[in-house]
């Protein structure tokens, strides 16, 4: 994971009021969720190149798959993209089509750190080339993880204290802590409507 600064702390949602008896000890359990803006390591999509009857009959005809590849990459590199941003996996193409596709084709993974690159990709496609939806690869380093945990725990402690006052009690140490956050191991669909994600935890406090 790469280093970067904590970016944005926006809305906080907390639910409190669960009292429990655990090992003869009164406890109160509180959940806190913090919306934050993650750092995006890269954006990615899958690009399929495939020779079909419509490809042969297109304005620009291609006799074979290599001609389609050459034409596609020539067109997008002229617009500013790099062929190095594409990683080919012909095996994934056959897996995607179930091995029964009668057409010749291949699959490329396209990666970039700049969303504007997708405007070039989508505007300069050709017959026989199609792209999937955009996915993102978030990156959370230890510093951000610790900062989010600290802030969420502070909110949970404050809400637990307020809830305890309603029954003339106070809270003590943290008995247990469960943290829920997105795993950053795999890319996931890019959210066009919100750039924020949720970091949440559930804290159980000793009730005095």
Does the pLDDT value for residue 125 go beyond 90?
no
Nearest to 82 by CA among 122, 44, 121, 128: 121
Least confident of 32-41, 51-60, 123-132: 51-60
Q: What is the pTM of this model?
A: 0.65
60-115 pLDDT, tens digit each: 778 889 999 999 999 999 999 999 999 998 888 887 777 666 788 999 999 999 99
pLDDT band per the 50, 70, 90 thresholds, residue 151: very high
Contact predicate 107/46, CB 8 Å: yes
Does the pLDDT value for residue 159 go beyond 70?
yes
Tell me the mean pLDDT in the region 165-186: 83
Distance CA 166, CA 28 (A): 12
More confident of the two residues 99 and 189: 189
SS3 content of the chain, % helix, strand, coil (to 5): 30, 40, 30
The total number of residues written for the chain in this structure: 208
Farthest CA pair distance, the chain: 82
More confident of the two residues 84 and 188: 84
The DSSP annotation for 16-50 comes to: EEEEEEETTEEEEEEEEEEEE-PEEEEEEEEEEEE
Does the pLDDT value for residue 161 go beyond 90?
yes
Structure-derived torsion over alpha carbons of residues 162, 167, 172, 173, reported in degrees to the nearest 10? -80
The sheet carrying 197-207 orders its strands as 9-22, 25-36, 197-207, 171-180
Does the pLDDT value for residue 10 go beyond 60?
no
Distance CA 106, CA 51 (A): 9
């Amino acid at each position: 994971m790469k280093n970067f600064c904590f970016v944005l702390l926006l809305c906080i949602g907390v639910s409190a009021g669960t009292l429990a008896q655990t090992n003869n000890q009164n406890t109160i359990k509180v959940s806190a969720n913090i919306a934050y803006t993650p750092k995006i390591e890269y954006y990615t999509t899958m690009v399929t190149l495939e020779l079909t009857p419509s490809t042969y009959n297109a304005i620009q005809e291609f006799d074979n798959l290599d001609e389609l590849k050459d034409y596609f990459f020539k067109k997008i590199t002229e617009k500013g993209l790099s062929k190095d941003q594409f990683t080919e996996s012909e095996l994934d193409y056959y897996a995607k089509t179930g091995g029964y596709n009668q057409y010749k084709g291949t699959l490329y993974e396209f990666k970039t750190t700049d969303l504007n690159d997708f405007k070039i990709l989508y505007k300069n496609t050709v017959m026989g080339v199609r792209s999937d939806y955009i996915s993102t690869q978030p990156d959370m380093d230890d510093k951000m993880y610790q900062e989010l945990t600290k802030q969420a725990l502070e909110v949970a402690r404050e809400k637990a204290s307020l809830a305890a006052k309603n029954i003339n009690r106070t809270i003590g140490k943290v008995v247990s802590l469960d943290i829920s956050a997105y795993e950053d191991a795999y890319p996931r669909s890019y959210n066009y409507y919100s750039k924020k994600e949720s970091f949440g935890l559930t804290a159980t406090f000793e009730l005095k």
